[in-house]
A and B are shown apart, each in its own frame.
Chain A
Amino acid sequence: MIKQPDQSTQDPATRPGARPVLPVLSVANLSKSFGGAKALNNVSFDVMSGEVHGLLGKNGSGKSTLVKILAGFHAPDEGGTLHFNGEQVQLPLKAGEGRRLGMAFVHQNLGLVPSLTVLENLRLAELTKDGKAFISWSAEKAAARQALTRFGLEIDPAERVDRLTPVQRALLAIVRAFEEIEAARAITGKPGLVLLDEPTPFLPASGVAQLFELVRSITALGSSVIFISHDIDEVMEITDRITVLRDGEQSGELARADATHEKIVEMIVGRSISRQPSRKPVAASFPVYARFEALSDKMLQPSDLHVGKGEILGLTGLIGSGYEEVPYLAFGARSGASGTITIEDGAPFAQSMLNPAAAIERGFALLPGDRHGESGVDSLSIVDNMFLPDIGRFFKNGFMRNRAMVREARELGAEYEVRPNDPGLKLSALSGGNAQKVLIARWMNRSPLLLLLDEPTQGVDVGTRQQIFAALRKAASEGMSIICASSEAEQLAEICDRVLVFARGRICDEITGERLTKEGISEACYVSAGPAPNMTSTPRVA
């Protein structure tokens, strides 16, 4: 079902022979401020019945804020309205409201329970409903089969979800969301809406095709789909209309017929009339410190890269492009990887020989992106977290010098402006930014030769961000080599000497010199993700 681009503006009642079409979802003047900053500013758009509506934008463009408002996580600022099938819905959305109206979400993590069966996942809402005295498994199984066959999915309902392929899992989650809106439709008699939030980055091309087929069969039944993705080609293929957000504002709405790759990139990235001159007009040259050859794992195709001594190397790309793997591979933190590493003039060694302990021994340091799960332990004190890799240093004459440790932690805390600077507090007592300072101080204090960072400023306030950048620059100027993986172009433009852009598991661009600006990096990310010369033979997941 392909809509005409002008349909939203035309009064449906005046079109002879056409069914009167109300937008399924209509949002108007949605804004959201966090503190003083506007994350979303006066966004309005309609999603028509049977339409696939694309939502595009960089990280921080307000996309996820919008999704969270629709899901009822955030309350928007005063003045915004939301209509669903013509009915005004009160904001913020109450829990369960979305389900009642017929709105379902498929987030990137899919929300499936891996250890349960397809049937249990598919019928989760039904099986756990209140006031149900008895589960008829045969009826449930029949319902599940029916749902699966309706969309041509050949999955055994008794199979465990963790044994499905990634594609099957994504399809299952979408089928479940669709079943949900169908259940609501049976009551309200009105079409529903499925929101797909980045469902494709980890799928191979054939899986994407299958997913699109599923989306089409959903819209053929009159329901609508909001499709969020970074991949412009996918968006152009599946959507009828596209809304683009930039810096919290609506930078435009396009009908598919009018959309070209270039136009969309321009709307996403935005072109400032006067390009900021780059911080470093000429690419500085650094003596090579570490060279990685044929570095690869599940997400990353064999790639060669190097980092210079005293250089800050940025790695970026769209989600799922493999750049975020590099810091972990360079630290030996993931198994199932391969490649060779050469440090300065040393003998090359296999990546598989490396493990975190050996990496630390070599003077590497890794600050993972998952602060709570991989970087620090919230329930333990700041001082313990700060000196975790150097506990041995404080063991003298048979005793831990606990007091010296606390003293040094307080000094280091003062240097990195940790607030409150009380080393005895648990890490959980600190704000995200301050906790990150503690963890950065942990590694910086060791003066590593190679510092590996993954999203070092995620969830960190602007002031702290500047402090962290300053610390990184200072360390680099003193000869530390830094590799920083980040999805934020602005951050990379600010601190990096050189940025590598990844797409589909490969390095596809190297940005230095004048192009090293926020716009230049963003553009490279989207251009790189453009049509690959022979896309079918480029598996995205090896």
Chain B
Amino acid sequence: MTDTVKSTSPTKPSVNYARQFERVALLLVWALTIVLFSFLIPNNFLNWGNFSIMFASYAPAALLALAIIIPLTAGDYDLSVGATLTLSASTIGVLNVWQQMPIGWVLVIVLLMGLGVGLFHSLFIIYFRVPSLVVTLGSTSLMSGIVQWITNSSTIGGIDNSLIMAAVGYRLFGIPYAFYYALGAALIMWYIFDFMPLGRRLLFVGRGREVARLNGISVNKVRVGALCMSAVLASAAGILYAGVLGSADPYSGLNYLLPAFAAAFLGATTIQPGRFNPWGTIVAVYFLATGITGLSMLGIPLWVTNVFNGGALILAVTISQITRGREASDIG
């Protein structure tokens, strides 16, 4: 909610500076990280080419993180987005490369498949009341198995060039289109979260299910919608992933899950602290990406990446909690 900041000014002259700082803290840390790496890697780090590649290659991760925050806001976990991404990318490989199906049809099928995954989750989570953590953990394994089966555990190359061009071929300000798709998704989600009644309903369903129900909100419909949107967006992330890589990799998609969750929670400490919010998520994804890119350019071994992702998440959420003092956590 952007209006809360503005609204406090007329009646409350004392502005809470700690809160104002909290909104931009992660942005500042991001800027500091960039400055730091520019000094450590004087020639190669700070150039537009490097950044434009980073912006494009982390676009699928950004979409995935955006997908996660929808059910998180409504109070459900979707751990299966990584597997949904892989399923989506692999299906593109199988249908487009092996079955020679035109790419347009393939994309429609893949997005519908995402909807199917969301409905499948909803059936168990809302109808049978199985905890979302359990259902989506199970479906992760389920979908990973299906991916291995349909791809024979092999990477499928040679995906339709138009998809690759649409993802990384065309550029605006030197940045491949992939990045703008993620920005577009964030923009639409911002609109829904902050400027549509649906966003408010989503929030109330997540924070107080019984309150929402007694105020006439159809809690189940909202939750089904959130789970479906999450799965569809994860499928879209899979499309983007296939476009960015130019191939369908049946394994690597799962590696995106934890960074995406890290970004979702990290993003909830910035822009609109205490709330899962799309712009905060985007900032968090690219802050993590900057760190990892810089570290890998310094020639630091691969394991540091994981340490960085996990460490940044725990540290940021902890600091955020400390600044709020004894106020109850908004998250989880």
Interface residues of A (CB under 8 A from B): 331, 333, 356-357, 359-361, 366, 368, 373-381, 383-384, 388-389, 391-392, 394-395, 398-400, 402-403, 405-406, 410, 420-424, 428
Contact = CB atoms under 8 A, between A and B. Distances in A.
Contacts of B1: 381, 384, 402
A11 B245 CA distance: 94
Interface string B245-274: 000000000000000000000000000001
Contacts, number: 98
Contacts of B216: 356-357, 359-361, 389
B330 to A, nearest CB: 5
B215 A389 contact: yes
Contact of A400 (B6, B8, B196, B207): B196
B37 interface: no
B197 A400 contact: yes
Contact of A402 (B2, B203, B207, B217): B2
A376 B212 CA distance: 9
Contact of B203 (A356, A361, A375, A380): A380
SS of B interface (majority): helix
A377 B197 contact: no
A403 B204 contact: no
Given A333-B214, A400-B195, A422-B11, A384 B3 contact: no
Contacts of A379: 207, 274, 328, 330
Contacts of A375: 211, 214
Given A373-B210, A400-B196, A428 B327 contact: yes
Contacts of A399: 195
A383 B4 CA distance: 9
A321 B91 CA distance: 61
Interface string B1-34: 1111111100110000000000000000000000
Contacts of B2: 402
26 contacts: A356-B214, A356-B215, A357-B217, A357-B218, A359-B216, A360-B215, A374-B211, A374-B214, A379-B330, A384-B1, A384-B203, A384-B204, A389-B216, A391-B200, A398-B195, A399-B195, A400-B196, A400-B199, A400-B200, A402-B194, A403-B3, A403-B6, A406-B4, A410-B11, A422-B7, A428-B328
Interface centre among A376, A377, A398 (most CB of B within 10 A): A377
B214 A400 contact: no
B197 A391 contact: yes
Contact of A384 (B200, B213, B214): B200
A258 to B, nearest CB: 48
Q: Top 8 A-B pairs ranked by shortest CB distance?
A: A402-B3, A377-B208, A391-B197, A357-B216, A424-B4, A360-B216, A406-B7, A377-B207
Nearest to B212: A388
A6 to B, nearest CB: 54
Interface in B301-332: 327-328, 330
B201 interface: yes
Contacts of B208: 373, 376-377, 380
Contacts of A376: 208, 211
B3 A377 contact: no
Contacts of A405: 3
Contacts of A333: 213-214
A423 B6 CA distance: 11
A360 to B, nearest CB: 4
Contacts of A391: 197, 200-201
Given A356-B213, A375-B214, A376-B211, 8 more contacts: A356-B214, A374-B214, A377-B211, A389-B216, A391-B200, A395-B196, A402-B195, A428-B327
Contacts of A374: 210-211, 214
B196 A377 contact: no
B197 A423 contact: no
A428 B325 CA distance: 14
A406 B3 contact: yes
B3 A380 contact: no
B207 to A, nearest CB: 5
A401 to B, nearest CB: 9
A423 B9 CA distance: 11
Contacts of A395: 196-197
A388 B204 contact: yes
Interface centre among B194, B197, B212 (most CB of A within 10 A): B197
A333 to B, nearest CB: 6
Nearest to A371: B211
Contact of A378 (B8, B194, B212, B328): B328
A399 B194 CA distance: 9
B129 to A, nearest CB: 14
Interface centre among A379, A383, A384, A403 (most CB of B within 10 A): A379
Contacts of B217: 357, 388
A356 B204 CA distance: 15
Contacts of B11: 410, 420-422
Interface string B210-228: 1111111110000000000
A420 B12 CA distance: 10
Nearest to B213: A356
A420 B5 CA distance: 16
B207 A380 contact: yes
A88 B194 CA distance: 61
Contact of B204 (A380, A392, A406, A421): A380
A271 B113 CA distance: 74
Nearest to A393: B197
Contacts of A360: 215-216
B210 A422 contact: no
B72 to A, nearest CB: 14
B197 A331 contact: no
A359 B4 CA distance: 31
A356 B216 CA distance: 5
